[in-house]
Copies of this chain bind each other. A is one copy, B any other.
Amino acid sequence: MGRVVTLRCHVRGQGLHEITHSVEETLADAIEGMGLREGLCTLYLRHTSASLLIQENADPAVCRDLEAWLGRLVVEDDPLYTHTVEGPDDMPAHIKSALTATSLSIPILGGRLVLGTWQGIYLWEHRRARGEREIAMHVGD
């Protein structure tokens, strides 16, 4: 009885983009007619230079500090990199992606995600360019 739907997210370059509202809307559409109240929602990011993240959505400074901290840990123009053909932000983006999540699963209760009070869902873009990212979303019982 599970379903897979695609969620497309427009990003405006590096940083954390909150997608909680889009995910909740897509979930509401997906379960309409399924009668699903209890289940599991899994998000899967179809890219290797961005991540999925659950983080605090109360103070925007948390997101800015996260972005700054990871950018200091995984620098551009590191002499260690041999994969450099796709630009200085590409290899750091792959490393940041490896250190964070590509898939996330959140239980559904009463037809809604059981997010904690302060939790938001984020698409963490690690490349500089604007663009579109695709998330495959599975909803099952």
- Residue pair A2, B83 in contact (C-beta under 8 Å): no
Bound complex: CA A61 to CA B66 (Å): 27
Residues of B contacting A54 with CB < 8 Å?
Answer: 48, 97, 102-103
Protomer copies: 3
Majority secondary structure of chain A interface residues (helix, strand, loop or mixed): mixed
What string of 1s and 0s marks CB contacts (under 8 Å) between A1-26 and chain B? 11110000000000000000000000
Bound complex: CA A23 to CA B128 (Å): 32
13 further interface pairs, Cβ-Cβ under 8 Å (given A40-B140, A98-B100): A2-B38, A2-B40, A44-B114, A45-B116, A48-B119, A49-B56, A55-B98, A65-B94, A69-B78, A102-B104, A103-B104, A109-B136, A140-B140
